Amino acid sequence: MNARFEDIWVYLSATPLLGLTVTLIAYQIAYGLYARAKFHPLLNPVAVSVALLAGLLTLTGTSYQTYFSGAQFIHFLLGPATVALALPLYAQFARLKAEWRSLLIALVAGSLTATVSAVAIAWALGANKATLLSLAPKSVTTPIAMGIAEKIGGLPSLTAVLVVCTGIIGAVLAKYVLDALRIADHAVRGFAVGVAAHGIGTARAFQVSEEAGAFAGLAMGLNGAITALMVPLAFWLLSNIA
């Protein structure tokens, strides 16, 4: 049995199928645990999948480049999946049209808070300039965040890690924070999660309700757009003043 498993692993490790195969298996295991725990937020399947994959790659000595040569197929689907969020949002168009002013205020406040608080805390703890620049876009989806980091002089690879950590933490803690604040409206809960925890938070919101997921998707997209505009402009102004 072990010899057969080794043969399969040797074959997969030499082909792009490795990343795709282990990613799908890891997520199925993680989601199975998540479902058994009745969708408890502390067993977020993304967080569990990351832990399983990191452990597997470390134990087998497989490089990230080898893994990603296959995982890039799943990475490619992030774009179509994000665009598909427009469908449930369209069903909420009437409410969106009625409450666009409140949503705009919440978007700007949430985006500013996410950026300024992260940079300020890191600066107070003595983080270097590269880390500060990498932290600024950590609350938007990975492709946008990495592009912003590269534009302002941060480290895109560090930003990617920070984005994933932000999404996982947001998806895990959002329920408890929103419950403590006694916010029951699914649209409001979804929008807050989308601003703070981008795609991972949006996936969690869809598990709560379609309404929460739709507003989370809206918040994720708008937060990405406004952050892509504000952060480079803010750092350009600050560098000129300095």
DSSP string, 186-224: HHHHHHHHHHHHHHHHHHHHHHH-HHHHHHHHHHHHHHH
Distance from C-alpha of 110 to C-alpha of 71, rounded to nearest angstrom:
32
Query: Is residue 231 classed exposed, middle or buried when 0-12, 13-18 and 19+ CB atoms within 10 A define those classes?
Result: buried
Identify the CA nearest to 224 among candidates 150, 121, 147, 172.
Answer: 147
Whole-number average pLDDT of the chain: 84
Exposure string of 66-82, with b = 16+ CB inside 10 Å and e = fewer, is bbebbbeeeeeeeeeeb
> Which of 7-11, 17-21, 58-62, 111-115 is least confident?
7-11
pLDDT of residue 64: 78
Phi, psi at residue 155, to the nearest 5°?
-110, 105
Q: How confident is the model at residue 179 (pLDDT cuts 50, 70, 90)?
A: very high
Closest CA to 214 of 193, 239, 236: 193
The tens digit of pLDDT for each residue in 69-122 reads: 777 777 777 777 777 777 777 777 888 888 888 889 999 999 999 889 999 999
Q: Which two tokens stand for residue 109?
A: 């406040």
- Supply 234's token pair: 């803010």
